[in-house]
Amino acid sequence: MKKKISASSPPTGGVRGLFIDGSVNNQLKVGYGAFLLVNKSEMDHTDLHQKIQIKQFENTSSTKLELQTLIWALGKLESIPEKLIVYTDSQNIISLKDRRKGMEEKNFYSAKGRLLNHHELYREVFLLTDQLNCEFVKVKGHQAGLTKNETEKIFTLVDRAARKASRSLN
Spatial distance between the Cα atoms of 121 and 136, rounded to a whole number of angstroms: 17
Q: Which of 77, 70, 62, 59 is nearest to 96 (CA)?
A: 70
Spatial distance between the Cα atoms of 125 and 93, rounded to a whole number of angstroms: 9
Q: Are 87 and 17 in contact (CB under 8 A)?
A: yes
% of the chain beyond a pLDDT of 70: 85
Q: Is the pLDDT of residue 92 over 50?
A: yes
The mean per-residue pLDDT over the stretch 74-92 comes to: 92
Q: Is the pLDDT of residue 99 over 90?
A: yes
The answer to pTM > 0.75 is yes
SS3 label, residue 145: helix
Architecture of domain 15-168: 2-Layer Sandwich (3.30)
**Res. 45 pLDDT band, cuts 50 70 90:** low
Domain ranges of the chain: 15-168
